[in-house]
């Protein structure tokens, strides 16, 4: 455990804090102050922001010396399920160099769709599961009060144990809700909003057929050859997982949402690790590689586990 600021509750080693802001001035004041404090402490600072915010921060921090890295959230975190892997890699690099990591990340930015924002909220919860108990570091997550729905910014207080204080010290939100892994993934996904959903069942010998079916469907949606191939490979990995870990069989559904080709796999298996696929599997690990690959191949990956089994819904933008 790390020492807490005077008058505050004891902090965990991983300090996950939110920064609600209104407009550019509040954003820059909060983030630049946080970054400069880290640089003054000789910490490694990694900023992961959407493209417009990155440009503002590069300009504001021009001339600041130190171990400072900028990453584009619209690239690194295009699929929210990839972000924990990026932070895991940054933390590993800093720790190996004998340094403390300080991060800024804005996954829930206004350009996200409503479905993506749901996954961003799940991601914020899972950050606490992923990094609590590990090396000490701080992560500041800005939330645009003017650009996001009030419900999104309000729920940020439940996913973050801390909020940025006026003097730069983290303060408890008082609203953080610690949730178990089972609770995080138990809510069923909403049914398809589109008509004409294509459905089928598959068993142990049907994985090649599933792959061909998804490939044909991807091409019929107008996806480029590369993106169709990515969706095809992701489908093959998930069908294989259903056969190996989901009771030897599963169901497949395919449909289009506005701007997206969607493929969904369901089986009777039960997901044990809520972080599966969100962290790069260690070289000695056998499992988890397929779901990690799926996260890299798809624009959105939604995983849920209920009493009926596990559902994985993957989307590729058209």
Assess whether pLDDT exceeds 70 at residue 181.
no
pLDDT score, position 284: 57
Quote the pTM value: 0.91
Which strands make up the sheet holding 198-202, listed edge to edge? 198-202, 250-257, 260-267, 309-317, 300-306
- What's the average model confidence in pLDDT over 7-15? 67
pLDDT score for 187: 82
Query: Is the torsion defined by CA of 140, 141, 146, 149 positive or negative?
Result: negative
Q: What pLDDT, on a 0 to 100 scale, did the predictor assign at position 2?
A: 37
> Is 317's pLDDT higher than 90?
yes
The whole-number pLDDT of residue 67 equals 94
Supply the pLDDT for residue 143. Answer: 98
Least confident residue range of 15-24, 162-171, 198-207: 162-171
| Better pLDDT: 261 or 184 | 261
Give the separation between CA 313 and CA 292, rounded to whole angstroms. Answer: 14
Counting residues of the chain whose pLDDT is more than 70, the rounded percentage is: 94
Per-residue pLDDT band for 6 (boundaries 50, 70, 90) equals very low
pLDDT at 5 over 60: no
Say how far apart CA 2 and CA 8 lie, in whole Å: 12
DSSP the chain: -BPPPTTSPPBPSEEEEEEEE-HHHHHHHHHHHHHHHHHHTT-EEEEEE-HHHHHHHHHHTTT--SSEEEEEHHHHTSSGGGHHHHHHHHHHHHHHTT--EEEEE--S-TTS-HHHHHHHHHHHHHHHHHHTTSS-EEEEEEEETTTS-HHHHHHHHHH-SEEE-TTS-EEE-S------HHHHH-SPPPPPSSS--EEEEE-TT-HHHHHHHHHHHHHHTT--HHHHHHHHHHHHHHHHHHHHHSSS-EEEEEEEETTEEEEEEEES-----TTTTTSPPPTT--SSHHHHHHHHH-SEEEEEEETTEEEEEEEEE-
Q: Does the pLDDT at position 175 exceed 90?
A: no
pLDDT the model gives residue 1: 33
pLDDT in tens, 92-136: 999 999 999 999 999 999 999 999 999 999 999 999 999 998 999
Point out the least confidently predicted range of 24-33, 89-98, 102-111, 280-289: 280-289
Report the range of poorest mean pLDDT among 117-121, 180-184, 186-190. 180-184
Structure tokens at 305: 């586990």
7/264 Cα distance (integer angstroms): 49
Checking if the pLDDT of 20 tops 80, the result is yes
């Amino acid at each position: 455990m790390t020492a807490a600021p005077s008058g505050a509750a004891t902090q965990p080693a991983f300090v996950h804090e939110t920064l609600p802001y209104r407009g550019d001035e509040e954003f820059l004041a909060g983030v630049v102050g946080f970054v400069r404090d880290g640089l003054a402490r000789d910490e490694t600072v990694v900023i992961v922001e959407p493209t417009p915010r990155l440009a503002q921060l590069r300009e504001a921090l021009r001339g600041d010396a130190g171990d400072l890295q900028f990453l584009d959230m619209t690239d690194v975190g295009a699929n929210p399920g990839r972000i924990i892997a990026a932070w895991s890699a940054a933390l590993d690099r800093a720790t190996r160099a004998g340094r403390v990591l300080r991060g800024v990340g804005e996954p829930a930015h206004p350009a996200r769709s409503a479905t993506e924002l749901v996954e961003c909220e799940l991601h914020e919860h899972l950050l606490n599961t992923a990094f609590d108990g590990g090396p000490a570091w701080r992560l500041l997550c800005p939330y645009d009060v003017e650009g996001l729905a009030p419900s999104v910014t309000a729920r940020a207080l439940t996913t973050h144990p801390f909020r940025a204080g006026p003097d730069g010290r983290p303060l408890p939100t008082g609203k953080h809700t610690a949730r178990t892994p089972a609770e995080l993934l138990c809510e069923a996904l909403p049914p398809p909003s589109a008509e004409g959903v294509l459905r089928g069942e598959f068993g142990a010998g049907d994985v090649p057929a599933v792959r061909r079916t998804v490939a044909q469907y991807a091409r019929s949606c107008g996806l480029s050859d590369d993106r169709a191939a990515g969706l095809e490979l992701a489908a093959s990995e998930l069908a294989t997982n259903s056969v190996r870990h989901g009771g030897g069989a599963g169901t497949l559904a395919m449909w289009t949402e506005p701007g997206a080709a969607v493929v969904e796999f369901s089986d009777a298996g039960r997901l044990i690790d809520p972080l599966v696929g969100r962290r790069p599997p260690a070289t000695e690990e056998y499992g988890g590689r397929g779901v990690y690959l799926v996260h890299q191949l798809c624009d959105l990956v939604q995983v849920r586990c209920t009493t009926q089994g596990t559902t994985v819904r993957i989307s590729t933008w058209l």
